[in-house]
Structure 1
């Protein structure tokens, strides 16, 4: 279990990075320790997250991945906040920010969300705001995906729900993961995918991914 080192300074903010991907945790830890005087501990699934919060009274902010493994409960973040409502939380995700905002903005001490691909400067700004108790929720103009703005997936082409499904499918999620993320049944997701394929004139997930990929994504 990751705990604070014996030499931890009492005036340094304590950050808990909770993500099931080791490379993400390493990257965030490296950025944060480089950018400022932080003490960083880590959790990699829901049990280790609960154990860290229960054992460490000094946690100032949790950087919490919204897709942490550990149970089949689609509402695990809500359950986590009911059990541990005090620590401030900044959500980290690769999912559409507007979707995460709508689902979790009402939870106590959940102060915002930041995309995992953001720059070090943007990460530091978000962390500083959250540590100060300031909201880090994106504005309506910020959450619209770049490829929607540039016409690769026009808002008029699909419904809002279909755009959410299309984005998740294009990012590589399975039907089951999409269903869990959006709190839908797998059957509903399959129906959405059929409608999306028909509306966009594609026949498979690869074509869909190419259709919705941002123009500057490379490849």
Structure 2
């Protein structure tokens, strides 16, 4: 049976999801951690991890270094992102960052279980809220993420986020301006940095005027 790590800052969420998985995936080994450092340590265990469920708030904003370390330690483990709200753009962002799907924090227990089973089976999972978006072929977006490429460029939401980064807004201010959750902004910022091939949001801000000329 699989070994699953649940990494999220909210204790009640971890406990609730752990109960569901232990009840329906009998024999599974479930580990729950509350911060980024504990997650890395959990992945360094001598026991093979099959699935990592990561709350978006645990990902440092605009810091591809931690995400890279997470993916290296995860190895062949599948990655499922937990977000406060979902959209087609956010789903694509998650895939571009190397995740194999996402779930909304308030999804029903049966949907959470379906997401876990789907990803453990080697397929991608998109929440019903953003369907009928058809998940891309599993190999293609992951290969793009490894190369740091997005052949279709920035999405509309990514351009909006980049424009506000260029104006010097913080993640919290961007969230207010776009009426989305701050945790969602963090994912978009990380995706923008990866798509542009820059090291941080400062370099992204410097590119913003050129990248967005006539686009927004």
* Same fold (TM > 0.5): yes
Instruction: Find the aligned partners of 2:105 and 2:175 in 1 and give their Cα distance.
Output: 19
**TM value normalised by structure 2:** 0.59
Tell me the equivalent position of 2:188: 182
Looking at both structures, which has the greater relative contact order when contacts are Cα pairs under 8 Å and sequence separation is at least 6?
2
If you compute each CA radius of gyration, which structure gives the higher value, 1 or 2?
Answer: 1
Tell me the equivalent position of 1:93: 83
Query: Unaligned 5+ residue runs, structure 2?
Result: 134-155, 162-173, 193-200, 206-216
When structure 1 is superposed on structure 2, of 46-55 and 130-139 the one drifting more is 130-139
- Root-mean-square deviation (CA, aligned residues, Å) is 3.3
Instruction: Find the aligned partners of 1:170 and 1:100 in 2 and give their Cα distance.
Output: 11
SS, match of residue 44 in structure 2: helix
Aligned residues: 155
Alignment check: 8 A CA contact 2:87 2:130 kept: no
**TM value normalised by structure 1:** 0.58
Alignment check: 8 A CA contact 1:91 1:114 kept: yes
| Pairing of 1:88-167 with structure 2 (within 5 A) | 88-108=78-98, 110-138=99-127, 141-142=130-131, 160=157, 161=160, 165=175
| Pairing of 1:37-56 with structure 2 (within 5 A) | 37=26, 38-56=28-46
Query: Unaligned 5+ residue runs, structure 1?
Result: 1-11, 145-158, 189-219
| Pairing of 1:13-52 with structure 2 (within 5 A) | 13-37=2-26, 38-52=28-42
Q: Which structure dedicates a bigger proportion of its chain to helix?
A: 2
Alignment check: 8 A CA contact 1:18 1:65 kept: yes
- Deviation, 1:168, is 6.5
SS, match of residue 67 in structure 1: helix
